[in-house]
Amino acid sequence: MSMIAAFYGGKSILITGATGFLGKVLIEKLCRTSPDLKVIYILVRPKAGHTLQQRVSQIINSKLFEKVREVCPNVHEKIRAISADLNQNDFAISKEDMQELLSCTNIIFHCAATVRFDDHLRHAVQLNVTATQQLLFMASQMPKLEAFIHISTAFSNCNLKHIDEVIYPCSVEPKKIIDSMEWWDDAIVDEIAPKLMGDWPNTYTYTKALGEMVVQQESGNLNIAIIRPSIVGATWQEPFPGWVDNLNGPNGMIVAAGRGFLRAIRASPLAVADLIPVDTVINLTLAVGWYTAVHRPKSTLIYHCTSGNLNPCNWGKMGCQVLSTFEKIPFEKAFRRPHADFTANTITVHYRNAVSHRAPAMIYDIYLWLTGRKPRMTKLMNRLLRTISMLEYFINRSWEWSTYNTEMLMSELSPEDQRIFNFDVRQLNWLEYIENYVLGVKKYLLKEDMAGIPEAKQHLRRLQNIYYLFNTVFFLIAWRLLIARSQIARNVWFFIRCIFA
Ligand SMILES: CCCCCCCCCCCCCCCCCCCC(=O)SCCNC(=O)CCNC(=O)[C@H](O)C(C)(C)COP(=O)(O)OP(=O)(O)OC[C@H]1O[C@@H](n2cnc3c(N)ncnc32)[C@H](O)[C@@H]1OP(=O)(O)O
Ligand SMILES: NC(=O)C1=CN([C@@H]2O[C@H](COP(=O)(O)OP(=O)(O)OC[C@H]3O[C@@H](n4cnc5c(N)ncnc54)[C@H](OP(=O)(O)O)[C@@H]3O)[C@@H](O)[C@H]2O)C=CC1
């Protein structure tokens, strides 16, 4: 019998960020392994055109929840959506709902965050810091609360090279920043942001670091743990391999490379690609929830959920495997044949951006314009290059994360729990994982049918022929111009003709 699964039986669990990438996998695993849990409260904000119930139904009726629907047919009754906006005071939760949450909640998983790198500092502080503070305040009023699990990121201290499972202080107190945001206008925030952020590369990582400090400072008597995943990728094993549903992190790059838009990237091929499958993160999260509630460690424990020190893979190896998977299972409607150059040389990057990215986009736009259609490729390419410039920081450096707490927890689990809630990344076969990842991007993100593979291959062959034709015409024109202008070129040409005459 799994101790972890049994622990969640009969429990009332509160989840923020439940409609996000990690949140969905968390609910799925909880419902599948502990179908006898009492209720999962999810804080959901209404979205244009969708009621709360529609948002929940969309998730429950999705492919991800196929197995859950079998194991737990009454899953609809287990999930109770509560209208909430984490950007508002008291999260804009109604009095009745708040009363129920305060009196019933046993465990909190705080996943909600803005993960955008370019978010305005005010908004990132609001969601990643102030909302965390407010949730902790709520938690302090919950008599039945057994554990509060905060999801942070391994990159909250990406300004350091070696990172231990401890909370590192930021130079300015989060409380001061929260207070200042009340009276600073946007112009002041814009001016002061770079000074506050120092060597953090973006508002996301900076505010996640502040969020951790808030957790530490406001922990009071609560049983708290922090989980720091690195770059979260598609599922490895559960509920099935390769599931992914957004364009964040590597996903967008895989789409862009598979469709032939992205052909070169500034990346150190030998830098560690610290990817971690989303189901691994969720297994660790559930194990941490159990351990924190049952063993009540004296201090707040931080768990690194990373792969680099236990089973490293580098960007070069990852890129090669992604490309070789495209050979077997190409994406549909490719703009060009997939190709990948990882280079750390700035001049080469500028050259490749001009020749491999901007020039083909411009040529295609001219073609669209000539055929009476609206040019769009240059705009799309500029957006892609901007996205890449934001990710570059993470693919040109390596970090070392210690994983003592995570390894300690692994040793605390029964063999049964080690199997059901497996977060031992040493068992991960990267080549197999990446192949499933690319396949998952094709099936679940791009929603492409596997039956279309022969047509996609045919399309790539056509693109190859167009490429050869284009190069031949280009070479002939260049050669013709050269012959007209250079005596040496004429002599070479004469020599070649003599050979083949
Ligand atoms: C050369 C061959 C390569 C072979 C492939 C090998 C794989 C290598 C992969 C390397 C990737 C490395 C990734 C490192 C990431 C480190 C992450 C740190 C971990 C974390 O803790 S955080 C979680 C990760 N967070 C993110 O990834 C968020 C990043 N996104 C943003 O910050 C913003 O979206 C961004 C990039 C600033 C863009 O903003 P904006 O221009 O305002 O665009 P929108 O977000 O509004 O979206 C507009 C439009 O574009 C689509 N979109 C968004 N992102 C991507 C993307 N990455 N690729 C393609 N398209 C993207 C989006 O869906 C919108 O489409 P619409 O149709 O709705 O307009
Ligand atoms: N994905 C990754 O690579 C990594 C993620 N993490 C961390 O994991 C956690 C989850 O990330 P992930 O699932 O990828 O993020 P997503 O962007 O997929 O999900 C974010 C979630 O937060 C919710 N949310 C955002 N703003 C509000 C608001 N104002 N009120 C209520 N809910 C809100 C979103 O709801 P809505 O659907 O309404 O937008 C969504 O459910 C975050 O804490 C992140 O920092 C850490 C490392 C890597």
Nearest CA to ligand 2 atom 20: 20
φ/ψ (deg, to 5) at 432 = -65, -45
Instruction: Based on the fold, state whether residues 440 and 479 are members of the same structural domain.
Output: no
Contact indicator for 306, 401 with CB cutoff of 8 Å = yes
Contact indicator for 290, 7 with CB cutoff of 8 Å = yes
Q: Which atom of ligand 1 is nearest to the CA of 229?
A: 21
Residue 15 inside a domain? The answer is: yes
Q: How far is the CA of 374 from the centre of ligand 2 (A)?
A: 35
CATH of the domain at 222: 3.40.50.720
Contact indicator for 71, 31 with CB cutoff of 8 Å = yes
Instruction: Based on the fold, state whether residues 192 and 206 are members of the same structural domain.
Output: yes
Asked whether 151 lines ligand 1 (CB < 6 A), one says no
Both structure tokens of 500: 């083949």
Domain that holds residue 475: 450-501
Residue 36 inside a domain? The answer is: yes
Residue 134: nearest ligand to its CA?
2
Instruction: Based on the fold, state whether residues 73 and 104 are members of the same structural domain.
Output: yes
Asked whether 242 lines ligand 1 (CB < 6 A), one says no
Instruction: Based on the fold, state whether residues 405 and 490 are members of the same structural domain.
Output: no
Q: How far is the CA of 386 from the centre of ligand 2 (A)?
A: 22
Both structure tokens of 98: 């708040």
**Is the pTM above the cut of 0.95?**
no
Helices and strands of the chain, counted as H and E runs: 22, 13
Rounded to whole angstroms, the Cα distance separating 26 from 109 reads 9
Contact indicator for 441, 244 with CB cutoff of 8 Å = yes
Instruction: Based on the fold, state whether residues 438 and 464 are members of the same structural domain.
Output: no
φ/ψ (deg, to 5) at 265 = -150, 140
Q: How far is the CA of 5 from the centre of ligand 2 (A)?
A: 25
Nearest CA to ligand 1 atom 54: 247
Residue 328 inside a domain? The answer is: no
Asked whether 252 lines ligand 1 (CB < 6 A), one says yes
Residue 434: nearest ligand to its CA?
1
Contact indicator for 32, 285 with CB cutoff of 8 Å = no
pLDDT (tens digit, 0 to 9) for every residue of the chain, 501 residues total?
Answer: 899 999 999 999 999 999 999 999 999 999 999 999 999 999 999 888 888 999 999 999 999 999 999 999 999 999 999 999 999 999 999 999 999 999 999 999 999 999 999 999 999 999 999 999 999 999 999 999 999 999 999 999 999 999 999 999 999 999 999 999 999 999 999 999 999 999 999 999 999 999 999 999 999 999 999 999 999 999 999 999 999 999 999 999 999 999 999 999 999 999 999 999 999 999 999 999 999 999 999 999 999 999 999 999 999 999 999 999 999 999 999 999 999 888 888 899 899 999 999 999 999 999 999 999 999 999 999 999 999 999 999 999 999 999 999 999 999 999 999 999 999 999 999 999 999 999 999 999 999 999 999 999 999 999 889 888 888 888 888 888 888 788 888 888 788 878 776
Task: Report, in angstroms and rounded to the nearest whole number, the Rg of the chain calculated over CA atoms.
Answer: 26
Instruction: Based on the fold, state whether residues 96 and 122 are members of the same structural domain.
Output: yes
Residue 79 inside a domain? The answer is: yes
Site to substitute for ligand 1 among 383, 385, 446, most atoms within 8 A of C-beta: 383
Please state the domain count of the chain.
2
Q: How far is the CA of 244 from the centre of ligand 1 (A)?
A: 14
Residue 116 inside a domain? The answer is: yes
Instruction: Based on the fold, state whether residues 20 and 54 are members of the same structural domain.
Output: yes
